[in-house]
Amino acid sequence: MDIKKAVEIVESKGVIDVSCNGKSVWIENVDNENQKVLVKDLKNEKRFVVDPEELKEM
């Protein structure tokens, strides 16, 4: 996914399923300046920063 799509998902009013390396995640924040995305693993609630290219809309 690109950074623009990640922003669209964060700003949407609905729930959009997203995965990162096969894990379901929630996009918490998008850092446009550094082109990074903060996500939370929905299983263990750990937060981590990824490149937007690692994310897939399910």
Residue 13: per-residue pLDDT: 85
In order of 3, 20, 33, 35, 50, the CA distances from 45 in angstroms are 22, 13, 25, 22, 15
In order of 13, 35, the CA distances from 54 in angstroms are 23, 12
Domains, the chain, ordered by start: 3-57 (2.30.30)
pLDDT digits (tens, 9 = 90+) for 9-33: 999 988 999 999 999 999 999 999 9
Residue 51: per-residue pLDDT: 98
Q: In whole numbers, what is the pLDDT of the chain averaged over residues?
A: 97
Helix, strand, coil share (%) of the chain residues, nearest 5: 20, 45, 35
